[in-house]
Amino acid sequence: MSVVRTALLAASQNVWLRERAANYKFVRQSVARFMPGERLEDALGAAAALRRKKIAAVLTHLGENVADRAEAQQVAEHYVEVLKRIQAQGLETEISVKLTQLGLDLSEELCFEHVRTIIGHERAERTVWIDMEASNYVDATLGIYRRALRIFPNVGICLQAYLYRTEKDVEDLLGMRPAVRLVKGAYREGAEVAFPKKADVDANYFELAKKLLAAQAEGRCVRAAFATHDVALIGRIGEFAAQRGITKSAVEVQMLYGIQRAEQERLAREGYRSGVLVAYGSYWYPWFVRRLAERPANLWFMLRNVFAG
């Protein structure tokens, strides 16, 4: 892991920095590159604009590690309202939720009830995505996902390619016909649980992507979505799909709002399923710094804003 990435991941967990970052204009200007605004209305507007370019949107309300039952309840109610707003506006938009924002630290049962309520308000043809968080939450997250999947076929899970365990997790889930969004991983993890070298993460990602595409073609995976901004990796996945006779419309790539916009539009133009994760909310600091850690070049973008005034 690079020194810059390690430092950024450590900074993402720093409460002192989180409390002060919003006071700096250059930080807020940089955050604006990755999210259209803090309000739900901003996210819905971005989703409508993306739709006009034939790009799907997945909305996520930023927040994590909620330690109050009333707050977790409010988050669940907010997502129900989000789904109602999406449906009222006729948007082809989905949502992605974090379980620690829905009370996982308080009670797995409480969290599951919130998840069940949210999915119950979604249309059957749309997926409710469950985010994956740090490695100590993987077992609990998968447990809740499996429970939800037994009731609702339209729930998906995020899996992280940098964890050694993910290959086995994929194999275990395929018997349940899951929907899987594959990411590289954005949390600070030790070498005992995660590949420390980027090249190894990339190699594992590609192997998992091939497995998921093949499983999707065989009907053992309802939906495979590849969340990455790595253009070279996207190209390799596309080549593999073509070699296997998998149509472009069956290959889904998801990116973050504001990153690789030209690539997002190219994929949509060429017939791939192109999607964008649109984040909003005031609790943006840890999420934003993890985005910088995923692609340190984004840090230089932020620093240029500083010197440009």
Place of tokens 């073509």: 242
Q: What is each CA distance from 245 to 68, 131, 278, in whole angstroms?
A: 50, 30, 31
The catalytic position among 181, 188, 273, 291 is 181
**Burial, 84: exposed, middle or buried (Cβ in 10 Å; 0-12, 13-18, 19+)?**
exposed
What does the alpha-carbon distance between residue 146 and residue 267 come to, in Å, rounded to a whole number? 31
Which residues, in sequence order, are CB contacts of 60 under 8 Å at separation 6+? 95, 96, 97, 98, 131, 277, 278, 279, 280
Q: What are residue 94's phi and psi, to 5 degrees? A: -115, 180
Helix (H) or strand (E) holding 38: none
Q: Is 131 a catalytic residue?
A: yes
Terminal alpha carbon distance of the chain? 32
What does the alpha-carbon distance between residue 209 and residue 294 come to, in Å, rounded to a whole number? 19
The catalytic position among 5, 126, 131, 290 is 131
User: What are the catalytic residues?
Assistant: 131, 181
